[in-house]
């Protein structure tokens, strides 16, 4: 198979209900849908064999966001919606033509940072169920 790749961006990140999503795109400096696997231990049996443990998969939306303290900004959104389960759509590259969508549980953003620097916050919001890789190839 020949090498295939894409460059991150330009893309989009929207959070919230389909009719009125919040566009996080301009505040994102890094975004990842990250998978985690929890592997159960194998169970040894008398015969010397082992019953293989099961894998459980989970995902989270992880991002670095430029803090925005404006009215209806990102910090206000995450604080007002903490704990809410909302849909998201992440497009890593519009040129690559694939989206990732699902539902995340909102966690409030941290506020503050280094003096005389533009503060950012790292978020990690757990996915509710598994996210889906869109079939929307260009």
43, part of any domain:
no
The C-alpha atoms of residue 33 and residue 130 are separated, in whole angstroms, by 10
pLDDT the model gives residue 72 = 86
Contact 75, 68 (CB under 8 A): yes
pLDDT the model gives residue 136 = 74
1, part of any domain:
no
Report the domain count for the chain. Answer: 1
What is the band of 110 on the pLDDT scale with cuts at 50, 70, 90?
A: very high
Q: pLDDT of 57-73, one tens digit each? A: 999 999 999 999 999 88
123, part of any domain:
yes
33, part of any domain:
yes
73, part of any domain:
yes
5, part of any domain:
no
pLDDT the model gives residue 20 = 81
Q: Where are the beta strands (DSSP E) in 73-131?
A: 85-91, 100-105, 120-126
**How large a percentage of the chain has pLDDT more than 70?**
99
46, part of any domain:
no
4, part of any domain:
no
Range of the domain at 82: 12-38+51-133
Q: pLDDT of 16-45, one tens digit each? A: 887 788 899 999 999 999 999 999 989 999
pLDDT the model gives residue 75 = 94
In this predicted structure, the answer to whether residue 138 has a pLDDT above a threshold of 70 is no
pLDDT the model gives residue 137 = 64
């Amino acid at each position: 198979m020949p090498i295939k790749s894409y460059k991150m961006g330009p893309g989009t990140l929207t959070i919230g209900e389909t009719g009125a999503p919040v566009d996080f795109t301009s505040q994102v400096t890094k975004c990842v849908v990250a998978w985690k696997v929890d592997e159960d231990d194998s169970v040894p049996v008398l015969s010397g064999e082992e019953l293989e443990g099961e894998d459980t998969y989970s995902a989270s939306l992880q991002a670095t966001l430029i803090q925005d303290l404006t009215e209806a900004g990102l910090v206000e959104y995450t604080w007002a919606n903490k704990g809410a389960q909302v849909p998201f759509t992440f497009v890593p590259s519009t040129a690559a033509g694939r989206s990732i969508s699902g539902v995340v549980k909102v966690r409030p953003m941290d506020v503050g940072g280094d003096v005389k620097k533009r503060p950012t916050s790292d978020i990690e919001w757990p996915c509710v169920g598994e996210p889906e890789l869109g079939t929307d190839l260009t």
